[in-house]
Structure 1
């Protein structure tokens, strides 16, 4: 049976409560990160498996037919005169990094909850899931005014620390107090990605959770560098109205600063152009993922968060 995580947890709509994110630990047990494949709604099937945990040297053994030449231990061969093969074992843990965007455009909703709230719930579910599988949890939480880096650590304490930083990030207070944020969200994203490189070890699994409105060409280059040695999932958060306008009519819309304007959706040409702009932005993200071997997972704010993550991570329903 599918449960709506938001509705089960006291309806966090415009901000998140730390205790609610902690309570997600039980739901996260239904979200295994050990699955080998991530599903793409755009490819119509399964993409290649995760690169997975890194490999560390274990021992050498005599060469056997079929061993890869690149794994031969030339130093041992020089010393013994016989071919030996290096044996590797999978590292017992990996780093799962959660890159969460709390820039101003994420504080928006027409239904259910802010994109920032949905992003926080998704990040918390993934953090708990990583913990249950013995992985280290860390990442970066950022807005125009504040960047918080958390180096990957293992254990429940690391997840609690991440959730605390997420729930107490100043972006929530800035929005609530109508703080004037003059910083450029694209510049914020570029800086955040640059800093993410410093907390990322090769072989990590990185979830980038954002609406990607601040993804500049420079930011994309940094993402491409990260994708060379890590698995990256772009978790694309969007509100229903961003993909398609409401029925024809006149709508009164309020902004964060309490100003308001009228949205006229009667113009057919405007409706088509609006939808095409969204699809173009979405297609760009898909192509970016295809180019650099990343994974694309869209998450509408109206959707069931846990079910969307389960489907996207390739969990098969019985």
Structure 2
């Protein structure tokens, strides 16, 4: 029976068999899948420089080697070979802010399943897979490797941190932890990495958004935003909340509190859209109300 509040490594391994029917990386233009009007393909595999040769009519003028052209007074162009693989980093937020869900799943569970989908799809495509799993006090790092064992190590860390969430006694601000994680990535990657960042971004500071923008310049960054109905409390009436043990009666908030919550959520969405428009960065919006398989079919139904 599926667990909606926590996951095990076995739960995540099911994606090894399901992954062939879906893909976290769009193959067609992003505008057909995501919010936003830009038309952008993912960068594709990176290119290795091979040689400089004389320019031939029809060559891409963007590859002209101007230094050689100036020195020889004859137009030369650079020739590239396609790389055989691209390294991928899957960044998974398992902080206390992700221990939240008013529908079917917790955000932390949807995030974990999304990480498994992305990881198995990466090695199926022949690319190297690594990642970072972080919570309020811990950051687990896995350098990209092209093996099933690398994926198992990453998903084991996801499972461990996910189960630790249920033991938390309080919610902790994790904006500093997210920033540390992003700084570590920025210091590690060079260019043409595929970086999948899975979070609700509720604790994403201005500094963190700046690092995401920097990473997007030379890498393919995919932002996966996990949402829940309670992220915006505009229409929430009195209700009873329980964790299976204790109960809390939730009274409808004051109008000013509701407006503040709504403004904060709208500001977050606008920041994500700005990154999407300017850097052609795909943003996937996932919710806690549906199984991930259903959401993926809806997102990629035009494929």
Runs of 4+ in 1 over 6 A off after TM superposition: 74-81, 266-270
In structure 2, what is the Cα distance between the partners aligned to 1:271 and 1:81? Answer: 67
1:24 Cα offset (Å): 1.1
TM-score (norm 2): 0.86
Match of 2:145 in 1: 153
Q: What are the within-5 Å matches in structure 2 for residues 175-194 of structure 1?
A: 175-179=165-169, 182=172, 184-194=173-183
1:117 Cα offset (Å): 0.6
Kept in 2, the 8 Å contact 1:53–1:93? The answer is: yes
1:156 Cα offset (Å): 1.8
Match of 1:118 in 2: 110
1:198 Cα offset (Å): 3.2
Kept in 2, the 8 Å contact 1:149–1:196? The answer is: no
In structure 1, what is the Cα distance between the partners aligned to 2:45 and 2:298? Answer: 22
Kept in 2, the 8 Å contact 1:251–1:263? The answer is: yes
Could you say if the C-alpha distance between residues 220 and 271 of structure 1 is closer, same or farther in structure 2, counting changes exceeding 3 Å? Answer: closer
1:150 Cα offset (Å): 1.1
In structure 2, what is the Cα distance between the partners aligned to 1:247 and 1:84? Answer: 65
Aligned residue among 30, 34, 46 for 1:54: 46
1:266 Cα offset (Å): 8.2
Q: What are the within-5 Å matches in structure 2 for residues 149-298 of structure 1?
A: 149-169=141-161, 172-173=163-164, 175-179=165-169, 182=172, 184-243=173-232, 248=237, 250-254=238-242, 261-265=248-252, 274-275=261-262, 277-298=264-285
Structure 1 stretches lacking a partner, 5+ long: 1-9
Q: Which moved more, 1:85-94 or 1:210-219?
A: 85-94
1:154 Cα offset (Å): 0.9
Q: What are the within-5 Å matches in structure 2 for residues 92-111 of structure 1?
A: 92-111=84-103
Q: Which moved more, 1:238-247 or 1:16-25?
A: 238-247
TM-score (norm 1): 0.82
1:307 Cα offset (Å): 3.9
Structure 2 stretches lacking a partner, 5+ long: none
Q: What do the CA deviations read for 1:243-300 (whole angstroms, capped 9, x no partner)?
A: 456663x3233479x7754322387776666555533432332223323332221101
Could you say if the C-alpha distance between residues 53 and 260 of structure 1 is closer, same or farther in structure 2, counting changes exceeding 3 Å? Answer: same
Match of 1:3 in 2: none
Q: What do the CA deviations read for 1:196-232 (whole angstroms, capped 9, x no partner)?
A: 2234231111111100011111111111111111111
Could you say if the C-alpha distance between residues 49 and 41 of structure 1 is closer, same or farther in structure 2, counting changes exceeding 3 Å? Answer: closer
RMSD (CA atoms): 3.0
Aligned residues: 301
Q: Alignment partner of 2:10: what SS?
A: helix
